[in-house]
Structure 1
Amino acid sequence: MALVRAAQQTSSSYSCRYCRYHVFLSFRGQDTRKTFTDHLYTALVNAGFRTFRDDDEVERGEGIKPKLQKAIKHSRTSVIVFSKDYASSTWCLDELVMILERKRLSADYVVLPVFYDVDPSDLRKQTGSLAKAFARHQKTQPSNKVKEWREALAEVADLAGMVLQNQADGHESKFINNIVQVIGEKLKHRPLSVPHIMIGMHSLDLVNTLNLWLQDGSDDVGIFVIYGMSGIGKTTIAKFVYNSNYERFEGSSFLENINEVSQQPNGLVQIQTQLLSDILNGRKMKISKMLVKD
């Protein structure tokens, strides 16, 4: 396990420690793919957020659902763009169900509904264009599936979302900037999860040594290596030290399971992309990063 230190500067940064994407972007392509959603995607990417958009990442056809499930699982947030005919797409409704399932599994998973040309009450009451869409679905889809979709729409309507008509006087560019700012606030650094039963006295001594090393105010780049057999607590120590120090640095990244990820197709590229995205966020900076390998 190697810890790499650079100049100390205080700033917040965005973290997606176990995730490939900061944002999973869900939308009905026929409604907004080339307009609002395209501008939103560009703004998110320009702000330094790794953003999944299905036409960029996967091809339509057999096997796409598992790929979408994996993308949702490995994202930190989901932004759902609700447009007038969103509910007419069984694909979008299935995707919504997957997103909410992901949210139930992780308390810190963020779902941000964006109401582009519909009102939250339309989803809650399922009136207007949604009523027409479900009238069609009831004729062609299993009743349990329709019930699942209705419950998902009602659930997401009660989440704190953003409504175009209520913000930025309806100006889309300002509205998009507001969305990017909200995502930035929600993705600010959060502490890593560390077991309640921490480590023994010997490990605490090591933690104190690492903290002193990271907090010495030096501008020099340094590497600290902790080595030993698997299962002795190296990662736990690194997480504890990371939580104690990340706010002291302008940028930081915690990369875990490097050996496992590197064996996957394009695994090394994925690691490099995550590292650079975590620490750069679209600007040059001096950074502190930790690479962890068991």
Structure 2
Amino acid sequence: MQSKIASGWKYDVFLSFRGEDTRKNFTGHLYSALDQKGIFTFKDNHRLERGKVISSELFKAIEESRFALVVFSENYVSSTWCLDELAKILECMKAMGQIVLPVFYNVTPSEVRKQSGSFEKAFRDHEKNFREDLEKVQSWRVAMTKIANISGWHLGDREESKFIQGIVDEISNKLSSTFLNTNGNLVGMESRMKQMGSITRYRFE
């Protein structure tokens, strides 16, 4: 399975975020910085209307991404769409070796892990709304706790532009290392070059 991922993934990064919190600021700037670095990133710009279920195409994009970058923000957990993404990301991490990288934007890792503060209230609301399917809510809680336990980036009081640059540089370095297999040969480059359209999209560091 691992070799299939290395040679067959379509995107470098799947970006999971709460649009109303970060689309026009942090996530928008992060996506632009990833793109400028030549990192092929999937960012969903066309959310369905409230009440619609997450699309199979979006699940497919998660499966086809080498990395999942999850931007936890204050209202992330209030979105069942985001929580469904998160559960799928955890599934891909376990089953396919996807690398998951959490970002804590204006929330602390502890708040996310323990689901305290605004996260606690949102989960109480979900438990009321999904009282006939509490297993689903529990799966969201598990996914959030497990992913929040992964080492990631916490904005804190740092300058946002430098914070973003640090994320992009680390992902770039991680991607460069995945281009090599144990024999030192390039892996999966031919298909990726066709997708990207130009070798100039890649920078080896």
The alignment's TM-score, normalised by the length of structure 2, stands at: 0.86
The reply to whether residue 273 of structure 1 matches residue 202 of structure 2 is no
Q: Give, as a single letter, the amino acid of the residue that structure 2 aligns with 1:160.
A: S
Map 1:18-37 onto structure 2 (within 5 A).
18-37=8-27
Structure 1 residue matching 2:176: 3-state secondary structure: coil
CA distance in 2, matches of 1:116, 1:72: 21
Q: Tell me which protein shows more helix as a share of its residues.
A: 2
Runs of 4+ more than 6 Å apart? none
Alignment check: 8 A CA contact 2:69 2:101 kept: yes
Aligned residue for 2:85?
95
CA separation in 2, counterparts of 1:59 and 1:123?
23
Unaligned runs of 5+ in 1: 1-14, 194-242, 256-269, 286-294
Q: How many residue pairs get matched?
A: 195
Aligned-partner Cα distance in 1 for 2:197–2:53 = 29
Look up the match of 2:35: 45
Partner of 2:189: 253
8 Å CA contact 1:46–1:282 kept in 2: the answer is no
Change (3 A) 1:59 1:31: closer
Does the CA-based 8 Å contact 2:14-2:61 persist in structure 1? yes
Higher relative contact order by CA 8 Å / sep ≥ 6: 1 or 2?
1
SS, match of residue 132 in structure 1: helix
Residue 106 of structure 1, CA deviation:
2.1
- The aligned counterpart of 1:177 is 165
- Structure label with greater radius of gyration: 1
Output the CA distance in 2 between the equivalents of 1:28 and 1:59: 10
Whether contact under 8 Å (2:54, 2:84) holds in the other structure is no
User: Contact 1:26–1:92 (CA<8 Å) still a contact in 2?
Assistant: yes
Give per-residue Cα distances to partners, 1:224-268, cap 9 Å, x unaligned. Answer: xxxxxxxxxxxxxxxxxxx55449xxxx8233xxxxxxxxxxxxx
User: Which whole-Å CA distance do the structure 2 matches of 1:121 and 1:159 have between them?
Assistant: 12
CA distance in 2, matches of 1:20, 1:95: 18
The 1:50–1:16 alpha-carbon spacing in structure 2 relative to 1, beyond 3 Å, is farther
Question: Is the contact made by 1:17 and 1:254 (CA closer than 8 Å) also made in structure 2?
Answer: no
How many angstroms apart in 1 are the aligned matches of 2:154 and 2:196? 31
Same amino acid, percent of matched pairs? 45
| Equivalent position to 2:104, from 101, 107, 115 | 115
User: Which amino acid is 1:149 matched to?
Assistant: W
Match of residue 70, structure 1, among 43, 54, 60: 60
Supply the distance in 1 between the matched residues of 2:72 and 2:185 (Cα, whole angstroms).
40
Change in CA separation of 1:246 and 1:19 when aligned onto 2, cut-off 3 Å: closer
CA RMSD of aligned residues (A): 2.5
* TM-score of the superposed pair, with normalisation by structure 1: 0.61
Q: Which runs of 5+ in 2 are unaligned?
A: none
1:135 shift after superposition = 1.3
